Amino acid sequence: NPYWVQTLTAQFEDCAALAAEGQRAGLSTEEAGKLFRKIRETARAAKQSLSRVEHYLGG
């Protein structure tokens, strides 16, 4: 994966860890869970989009 994808993935993982802890950001457990799921969905969508772009550019 390109460097920017790795950096973005690392940032998502950091946010997910904070969301899972919840209390650091002053979030309720429910809010932290929602944020974690949204981050995970966004990461999946980004990976899928990158795959499509790579496929398109590759042939």
Q: At a CB cut-off of 8 Å and minimum separation 6, what does 8 contact?
A: 46
User: pTM score, two decimals?
Assistant: 0.52
Query: Domain range holding 50?
Result: 3-58
pLDDT digits (tens, 9 = 90+) for 8-32: 777 777 777 777 766 555 667 787 7
Give the C-alpha distances (Å, rounded to integers) separating 48 from 43, 44, 52: 9, 6, 6
Judged against a pLDDT cut of 80, whether residue 50 lies above it is answered with: yes
CB 1 within 8 A of CB 10: no
Q: Could you give the number of structural domains in the chain?
A: 1
Q: Which long-range contacts (CB under 8 A, 24 or more apart) does 33-42 make?
A: 39/12, 39/15, 40/16, 42/12
